[in-house]
Structures are given as C-alpha cells and as structure tokens.
Structure 1
Amino acid sequence: MRLASLLCCTTRTASHSGDEPPPRPIANENASSGASIDSASVKAKSTKSTSSANADLEPYTPARATALFTAYADPEDPSTIGPEGFERLCNDADIPLEGAKPLILAWLLKAAEMAKISKAEWETGMAELQIGSSAALALALSDFDDLLLANKAAPKPTHASPTKAKKAASEPYNRSRYHEAAKDRRKTFGELYVFCFNLAKPPQARLIDIETGTALWSVLLAPQYPIVDEILAFIAEKGTYKGVNKDLWQMMLEFCRTVKPTLEGYDADGAWPTMIDEFVAWKKEKLGAA
C-alpha cells in the first residue's frame, strides 16, 4: 500500500483481540467537493503554492487559522477535517502525500487519527506554531522534513524581539519547537517515529498491518538508511508477514541505526525480532551468492 492511499482512507477499525489485525477497509467518506465557507477569497488565500510563499505568509491570527480550517472541514462535520479535506489541504499547499510531511503535520498537531484533524487539535497546534496560512504551514513542514528526514543543517535561531508583534513580523511562524528539535535530532525523530506507529494502530489492537508498516518505513526510514530498501524487498519476497507490533517497530529503527548495509554491527546473539534475523539470513545468502 502506498502511503498516499493510506493517508486518504480511514485507518481506525474495530478492536481486534488476535495477533493479526483485521482487514482495514477503505471507508467511503465522500464529502461534498465544495468548501463550506461563504467567502471564496478565504480559500484563495489559503491555497497558494509554496512557490509564492513569501507573498502569502500572512501573520497568524486565531481568525485566520480558523478560516483555513473551515475551508477544508467536512461539510457534514464542521468540527473535523476528514480524509478528503486533508487530501485537498495537502494538494493546495503543495504538501506531497507520498512523503513524510503529512505525518509530520499529524505529529505537530498531536492528531489522534490518520488523515483527520479535529478543530481543537488544529487551533491548539496553529496557536503554538503561530500559523494562519497554508504557505506558512508548508514552510514549517518543509523545515521539519529537512531537519528530521533529510538531515540538513538547521539555521541558528534569531534573537527574539521583545515585543510579540515584532517577533511575529520577523518569523514566518514560531520556530521555537523547530529549534528545540534541532538540539537533539535523534531524540526528536524517535518521538516522531513512535508517534506514527500509534497514529496508524487501530484502537485496542497490538499491531499495524504489514502494508501500513512498510508504507511508513518507506517514507520514515528509507530516505535515511539505504538498508531499508533491501528490507522492504525481503518482506515483499517473503510474503508471509502479516503485521508489525511495537517491539518490531522500535527494533527496526535500532537495527537501521546500528547495522550497516554490509551487516557490519549486527550481533547474532542480540535480541532482534524474528523478521530482522530472517532478513539478515536472507541478505547473507544474497551476499554469498554474489
């Protein structure tokens, strides 16, 4: 399953007591294609691409943040941006659904469900980040993506102005959380990584299905660790794995951080999950054949 497909469907299913999660049907949540707002200008301001970001970085106000939320809210439930509205928001703000930015957005807003944002989550998150336009939102997500996924150098924080008005004018959004994350990227990425497992896991379940797990690994780990592409190829070739539990999820990150593509750093006596041990055996066989 591609991450874009995952993000645009409902991921919360009924609780399941077995080891394997139940099939996760794509919910038919077809909302009205029109935005439920009176002023077309509000949506026009909120849907500029990042190419004209400098012109559209309007200062944050609670009213602007609420108007942006309203532009994408479900007409049948104005207190929620559902999967369709989430997809439109990402498309309008040039936020690729295939990458990690939608996951970073959910993490920044402390969202409880995949591809859904409640009004309370939105307003609290936008107030913290001081974001009132889609251009500022796109910029913030690009900053965090560059920091946590691309490992680009973080700009040094500017000295905050003594007045709130001057501070708002000097920064496109409140970068306090960004600079805090930059102090320890490894720890912050670990927090994002664990958050994504909990976000994707159905309530009361212990696992996420293997399609969801591999889709998340492909955008969270593969850009940073080349060995992940081989792990994903192994999983696809094996074809027998059904789900990913919390231990496997966490140990996959640890494996990627400690074991090189040559398998240097792998300890056969370590307490690795079965999937990882089987991958190592598979890769050694490939290396032996080569």
Structure 2
Amino acid sequence: MCIIMLVLAWKLEAPNMGFFTKEEWLKGMTLLQCDCIERLQGKLDYLRNQLNDTIIFKNIYRYAFDFARDKDQRSLDMDTAKSMLALLLGRTWPLFPVFNQFLEQSKYKVMNKDQWYNVLEFSRTVSTDLSNYDEDGAWPVLLDEFVECQKARLAAL
C-alpha cells in the first residue's frame, strides 16, 4: 500500500482496507473538492503534506490500526502490523529497522491497540540511544523487551 492511499482512505473515512463504497468516495471527493481525476492528482501533494503535521499524522496512525485489522479481530496480525509500521514509520524513525528485526524474531503473533499506539509515542519520545527510556514507565512489555534486546545488542558491539 502506498502511504498516500492510506491518507486518502483516512480522508474518505473508509472503515475497510481494499475498497471504498460509492458513498465514501463521493463524500470524500466532495470534501477534497475533486470532481475529476486531474483534480485528485492535483491533491496528492496536499495529501502527502498531511503527514508532516504531527497531530494529523497521529490521527492517521491511529486510524491505520482499525483500517488494517481484520474486522473480527481485536488485534493486528504481526505481518500486517510490520507492514503498516514500515509504511508509517519506516522512513522517519531511525530505530525502525532494528525494531522491525526485533518483531521478526519475537514471540509476538499479534499487536494490540495499546502496543500500536505506544510504538508511535515511543518513536517520538525515546532517543535512538535509548538513554531517556524510563524502565519504570508505563510502556507495554513489548517495548520493554525491545529496549532490553537493543541494549544487549549495543553492549555486544
């Protein structure tokens, strides 16, 4: 999935990945003031720039969890979570490659909403050397384990 498609789906308030209803499409195109393909193409930079606003990005990030999960599940399967994290954080979070590798090797099969939300907060607040990570903070165990693994990896270098 292209990140612009995710932003567009967010703008359309589409609840399901893979398709837009006619109503969602018409409502969204009206809001975007697009009545033809050329106007929609002209909005691509606008949609891309939405990602630069931290509050809007947080809204899109949170939207992505429910958008990407199977509707009968409360969590994201780990392959989907990794793909969506790569799409949303892969180019901007310096620790993403090692976090993704950690997820690849972890025991976790799913990511719940609390973990999902906290990954964004972690990516925004914890420095790349993990020096400001508060072990007594209210982070999910998943992130505690990532920090422990990363610190062990760095100590071995």
**TM-score w.r.t. length of structure 1:** 0.52
Q: Which has the higher helix share?
A: 2
Alignment deviations for residues 157-187 of structure 1 (CA, whole Å, 9 cap, x no partner):
xxxxxxxxxxxxxxxxxxxxxxxxxxxx221
Matched, 1:119 2:22: yes
Structure 1's 241 and 138: CA in aligned 2 closer, same or farther, altered over 3 A?
Answer: farther
Say which one has the larger Rg. Answer: 1
Look up the SS of the partner of 1:196 in the other structure: helix
Q: 2:68 aligns with which of 195, 200, 215?
A: 200
Matched, 1:245 2:148: no
Does the 8 A contact of 1:227 with 1:260 survive in 2?
Answer: no
Does the 8 A contact of 1:221 with 1:228 survive in 2?
Answer: yes
Match of 2:43 in 1: 140
Match of 1:285 in 2: 152
Q: 1:273 aligns with which of 130, 140, 152?
A: 140
Does the 8 A contact of 2:7 with 2:60 survive in 1?
Answer: yes
Unaligned runs of 5+ in 2: none
Shift in Å at residue 194 of structure 1?
Answer: 0.9
Q: 2:79 aligns with which of 186, 201, 211?
A: 211
Q: 2:121 aligns with which of 236, 254, 257?
A: 254
Shift in Å at residue 132 of structure 1?
Answer: 2.0
Distance 1:234 1:136 in 2: 42
Look up the SS of the partner of 2:111 in the other structure: strand
Unaligned runs of 5+ in 1: 1-96, 152-184
Distance 2:136 2:78 in 1: 26
What amino acid is aligned across from residue 7 of structure 2 in structure 1?
I
Look up the SS of the partner of 1:106 in the other structure: helix
Look up the SS of the partner of 2:139 in the other structure: coil
Distance 1:131 1:275 in 2: 42
Does the 8 A contact of 2:78 with 2:109 survive in 1?
Answer: yes
Matched, 1:104 2:7: yes
Does the 8 A contact of 2:8 with 2:47 survive in 1?
Answer: no
Matched, 1:128 2:27: no
Distance 1:110 1:202 in 2: 17
Does the 8 A contact of 1:113 with 1:199 survive in 2?
Answer: yes
Shift in Å at residue 260 of structure 1?
Answer: 1.4
Distance 2:5 2:26 in 1: 17
Does the 8 A contact of 1:101 with 1:142 survive in 2?
Answer: no
Q: Greater relative contact order: 1 or 2 (C-alpha under 8 angstroms, separation 6 or more)?
A: 1
Q: 1:235 aligns with which of 79, 92, 103?
A: 103
Matched, 1:263 2:130: yes
Distance 2:50 2:23 in 1: 27
RMSD over aligned Cα, in angstroms? Answer: 1.4
Percent identity at matched positions? 36
**TM-score w.r.t. length of structure 2:** 0.93
